[in-house]
Amino acid sequence: MAAEKYDVPQRPLYNKAKRKHPKKAGRPNTFSLEEETEICEILIRCSKIEVPLGKRTPIKIVKAVALAKGMNGAKFADRWHRNFLRRNREISLRMLSALNFKKSREWTAARYEEWISLLQKLKDDAFLDNPDGI
């Protein structure tokens, strides 16, 4: 029997054969599914009001969220960004459309007010105050 041959317990082999895995294989994501959804919503809102989103802006936002949660911000770099965009296809489509340098130079006082009102709404919803709610 394989358990005796390879000196492993029988139960994990049985579970593997029956495809009864308690967890997803591989390393877990840094943020939960709900947290990533909230981050996606922030980035989509930024894109809708035409905030110029390059590669570094989402990384800065996520590092700030991670530091607020007490996580290490060093792991949020190019590889994390690439995997995040792979998991969230709607963000990767908006990233390119929001990066228009001509429009980024056209930021007016009205656009700044709209951005500040968005941040105020997030603060009023206690989204920015409570890192557990992300």
Q: For 45-96, how does the pLDDT look when each residue is reduced to its tens digit (9 = 90+)? A: 887 877 777 777 778 888 888 888 888 777 788 888 888 888 888 776 655 4
What local confidence, expressed as pLDDT, does residue 98 receive?
A: 46
| The pLDDT value given to residue 31 | 82
> What is the per-residue pLDDT for 93?
60
Q: Of 33, 48, 61, give the one whose Cα is nearest residue 117.
A: 48
- Residue 127 above 60 pLDDT? yes
CA atoms within a 13 Å half-sphere pointing along the CA-CB vector of 56: 0
pLDDT over 90, % of the chain = 0
Between CA 7 and CA 12 the distance in angstroms is 12
